[in-house]
Amino acid sequence: MKGFERAKPKQLYRKFVETGGQIEVVPNRQLQVTFDRRCHKPILREAALDANSRRIPWLKNFRVTFDYQ
């Protein structure tokens, strides 16, 4: 990700993984992940998590989708 080439794992975890949000089961076997508002949301968008929502076999083949409200 641009601007984080030299970031340490702890910093990356704090900024991107340790974030709040909600997970909701929606129709058509989908899990909708909605991230809380954050200043790093544009970088998460750049990571294109929502580009290819795949089915997760160990989640009964539910598809995971991401929402960046």
pLDDT digits (tens, 9 = 90+) for 5-18: 888 989 888 877 77
pLDDT of amino acid 50: 66
Residue predicted with more confidence, 65 or 47: 65
Domain residue spans in the chain? 9-67
pLDDT digits (tens, 9 = 90+) for 25-64: 999 899 998 888 765 567 767 777 667 778 889 989 999 8
Cα separation, 48 vs 60, in Å, equals 24
- 1 within 8 A of 46, measured Cβ to Cβ: yes
pLDDT of amino acid 61: 92
pLDDT of amino acid 40: 59
Question: What is the SS3 assignment for 43?
Answer: helix
